[in-house]
Amino acid sequence: MEHFFKSTRRSFLGIIGWVLLIFLFALILFFIAWIMLDILTKLGTSISAIVAAVPSIALFAFMVVRILKTSPVDYLVTETELRFLKGNEVVQVFPYKDYIIGSIVTNMYYSGIASGKIRQITVNDGKKQTVHQIMLSKKNFNSFMAYISSYSAIVAEAGVE
């Protein structure tokens, strides 16, 4: 049986916020380049504006495409392995027979006031332990880890016999 968990990393408002921030950065770059070109070279205001607009527009377009193209990592828990997915492509696979998978929940504080939790998994292959941040809600993370724990135990029991 497969259990699919969708990442909560990206929201529509978050994308709009990044696009507006990049637009502001590109606008600042445009005005700095325009003023510097106008002062340093005597090309004329309109030519300086055109020359300054090209890198600003290119930067803005590149960053917006990069943000929209980058998809968040989703998670697929099967009876034999844990898979990280980006879109329809499998990015990483952790078979339970080769890896020990655990969890870490870190409480975050700002000036002594609780400000959230970070949920991570540890993947240990016997030589090296890696930590992966899992972008799931508390409820989904708990069921995600419950499935992994139960499937890992089944695989471990089958390997012992």
Domain residue spans of the chain:
12-69, 96-160
Q: Is 145 helix (H, G, I), strand (E, B) or coil?
A: helix
Identify the pLDDT of residue 93: 94
Are 93 and 104 a contacting pair, CB within 8 Å?
no
Instruction: Select the more confidently predicted residue: 16 or 81.
Output: 81
pLDDT digits (tens, 9 = 90+) for 83-137: 999 878 898 999 999 999 999 999 999 999 988 888 999 999 989 999 998 888 8
pLDDT greater than 60 at residue 16? yes
Identify the pLDDT of residue 49: 74
pLDDT digits (tens, 9 = 90+) for 39-93: 777 666 677 777 778 888 888 888 777 776 666 788 999 999 999 998 788 989 9
What residues pair up with 104 in beta bridges, in sequence order?
A: 120
Q: What is the SS3 assignment for 12-55?
A: HHHHHHHHHHHHHHHHHHHHHHHHHHHHHCCCCHHHHHHHHHHH
